[in-house]
Amino acid sequence: MQNDGGGLPKINLDEKLPIQTGESSILVPKIEVLQENVSPQPQVKSGKTKKVWLMVLIFFSVFLIYNLVVCFLIYQKGVKLATSLNQLSVAAQSKDLAKIKVGLDQTNINLGNFRTAYKFIFWAKILPFVGPYVKDGDHAATAAKAGIEAGQIVVTTIEPYSDLLGLQGGVSPILGAKTGEQTTQDRIDFIIKTIPDLLPKIDSISAKAKTINDEISQIVPNRYPEVYKGKKIRSQIKTIQGLVEEVSGFIVNGKPMLENAPYILGMDSPRTYMILFQNDKEIRPTGGFMTAYAMMKVDKAKFEPVSSNDIYNLDAQYKPSIRAPEPIIKYIKGPYILSQNLRLRDMNWSPDFGVSMQTFSSAISKLGLGNIDGIIAVDTQLLTNLLDAIGPIGVPGFGNFSTKIDPECSCPQVIHELESFADIEGPIIWDPLTGKIILRPPNSDNRKRIIGPLMNSILANAFGQPKEKLPALFEAGFKSLIEKHVLFYIFDPKVETAVSDFGLGGTIRNYDGDYLHVNDANLGGRKSNLYATEDVNQDIKIGSDGTVTKTLTITYKNPMKQDGWLNSVLPTWVRVYVPQGSTLITSEGLDAKTDPYDDLGKTVFAGFFQLRPEGVSKITFEYKLPFKVSKNYKLLIQKQPGTDGFLYLIKLGKHSEEFYLKTDKELKIGL
């Protein structure tokens, strides 16, 4: 018998089944099929599997809901934080300390709420794609917290000095009067007296600034798009990082400067300084031709009236003994035809102000002028900045001075008057019998005697300014300092270090990346730097092995006509300071050039060219850096003192950055 089911048939003889056949039936044995060794058919899903999948589904549902809720909560807190930040910005623009304090407190509360909500997604830091962005958010929030705390300390610190900053509501705790009722001299005295109270707060602010810098620096800008919804993202992150680092360094270096300010201002004993007037319209390496000088005493932050003299009169007493640099001998000629030794007026040849002043101070000490505590150099931009803040002033015996543009020179009236007084030329005629001068140009006996009375009048006006003028006056002084229109060389080594670290010493700095300093010297072009400008373009190419090749193009322009007085052909000796060991590939545009050499820890490319009125001169240097780069490219550009913010353009691959060089600038570009 066949059995398709795979079992064996079994006949049960004891049990019979009836089978109907027609009208009768018969009984037959019952046959059963026994199933042996037959596996049961598999089921599609067991009850246990269903439970596992159900649990997974519930988990992911809860996980999704959790993240939706958390993200909504973070978004909600973020909106409130953004609103308070906008309100804080408005309060800062209002210059109202009370509103700023309220804004800081409210922002601090909203930031705390945001950070609490943000903690709920900290687990995502471990994820491969989302993790880095979550970490960046945490860094930004931590930096913001430190920033608000620093802001709260700053507001408390600056309240007594609010009038200098143009803020409302400041009260002096020492003088017990509204700060606006005090004179400028009162404010200076108060600031000096409160420096010991400022120093601990500077430490606290420095610590916060370090935290901000440490957190912000960990954000990787290249992780973000260049542009999102029409807004620049990546470049803005880089800008913030650079600004934070710059401010942090400024605060850190500001403490030693504050500590030594009492010394500079003669709080312990009177100080005597030589004031050098550098004419930036006749540019020289440290900021301008050293045209005049004055001796000034400072006693307990009070400046005695100054008197000035022509640098030529001092030079007439000096016996030159140091050989002059070859460019001075070759292109200035004049006195260097008779003697090739360096004159006092040309001793600011080194671009490093401290190095130049070491040479200069050693020379003047031989003339009995060694009993001084330091040398302070100022240029005409300081005068115009201060006059912009003060307004027109009168100088007894010399007339009125202002910054109103004089059409005769297309320059401020004060500059026109200074140049007119100093540079009127003409013959000198002696009486053959008596030997006395009977005819000479005006002011030929002391062409620069106007500078002392002018500076004295400016100082007197500045110290007597009403409260409305104090913020503008403070800004003018601060701007002149950071833009290198005032330079200090203090003989005390400790004080000089503090001054240099703060950026007031005109120092050529050491740097562990790429470096650039363009330095020009006018070697006889009248006052053509009043009109001459320059654009500096850097095209940077980085090879696959990290080799850096640069093409530096400097375009000089003089848009004004020759006038036979101020504007003339401008003979310029240009020096380009780059990292030591750089290799010059080619140079173009120079009328004469030297082989590359080392100076001040840098390699120098130098040469001579002439810029004509209404003319353009283009100088190009192509060179290779002595090191390779991999992940990041760093560049420090140092501004030449006395210059007024020339246009710079940096190109590296897709990265392009344009700015006016008002102060030293550091760039960091991720590769």
User: For residue range 211-264, what is the model confidence (pLDDT) as tens digits?
Assistant: 998 998 898 888 888 888 888 888 888 888 888 888 888 888 888 998 999 999
Q: Which CATH number fits domain 514-670: 2.60.40, 1.20.144, 3.40.30, 3.40.50?
A: 2.60.40
The pLDDT of 414-427, averaged and rounded, is: 71
Could you tell me what percent of the chain has a pLDDT over 90?
46
Is the Cβ–Cβ distance between 368 and 474 less than 8 Å? no
For residue 246, the model assigns a pLDDT of: 81
pLDDT reading at 628 higher than 90? yes
Q: DSSP code of 341? A: B
Cα torsion 47, 52, 53, 54: sign:
positive
- Collapsing DSSP states into helix, strand and coil, what is residue 45? coil
The whole-angstrom separation of Cα 204 and Cα 181 is 30
Band the pLDDT of 608: cuts 50, 70, 90.
very high
Band the pLDDT of 10: cuts 50, 70, 90.
low
- Collapsing DSSP states into helix, strand and coil, what is residue 656? strand
Is the Cβ–Cβ distance between 640 and 529 less than 8 Å? no
Tally of CB atoms within 10 A around 574: 22
Cα torsion 32, 38, 44, 50: sign:
positive
pLDDT reading at 427 higher than 60? no
pLDDT reading at 390 higher than 60? yes
Least-confidence region, from 47-51, 148-152, 349-353, 456-460: 47-51
Q: Where does CATH 3.40.630 sit in the chain? A: 271-501
Model confidence over 562-574: pLDDT tens digits?
987 899 999 999 9
User: From residue 659, how far is each of 536, 582, 622 by CA, in Å?
Assistant: 10, 25, 22
Q: In this predicted model, which residue has the larger pLDDT, 154 or 274? A: 274
pLDDT reading at 306 higher than 70? no
The whole-angstrom separation of Cα 155 and Cα 141 is 21
Closest CA to 154 of 84, 220, 120, 104: 104
Residue 229 gets the label, from left (phi > 0), alpha (psi -120 to 50) or beta, of left
Is the Cβ–Cβ distance between 623 and 549 less than 8 Å? yes
Band the pLDDT of 174: cuts 50, 70, 90.
very low
The pLDDT of 370-385, averaged and rounded, is: 93
Band the pLDDT of 418: cuts 50, 70, 90.
confident
Q: In this predicted model, which residue has the larger pLDDT, 619 or 467? A: 619
Band the pLDDT of 179: cuts 50, 70, 90.
very low
**For the whole model, what pTM was predicted?**
0.82
pLDDT reading at 17 higher than 50? yes
The whole-angstrom separation of Cα 158 and Cα 261 is 17
Band the pLDDT of 171: cuts 50, 70, 90.
low
Least-confidence region, from 83-92, 379-388, 602-611, 640-649: 83-92
Could you tell me what percent of the chain has a pLDDT over 70?
85
Supply the CATH classification number for the domain 271-501. 3.40.630
- Collapsing DSSP states into helix, strand and coil, what is residue 57? helix
Is the Cβ–Cβ distance between 538 and 659 less than 8 Å? no
pLDDT reading at 175 higher than 50? no
For residue 287, the model assigns a pLDDT of: 97
Closest CA to 111 of 69, 83, 152: 83
Mean pLDDT for the chain overall: 85
Is the Cβ–Cβ distance between 194 and 158 less than 8 Å? no
Phi/psi of residue 272, nearest 5 degrees: -120, 130
Q: Where does CATH 2.60.40 sit in the chain? A: 514-670
Q: In this predicted model, which residue has the larger pLDDT, 81 or 324? A: 324
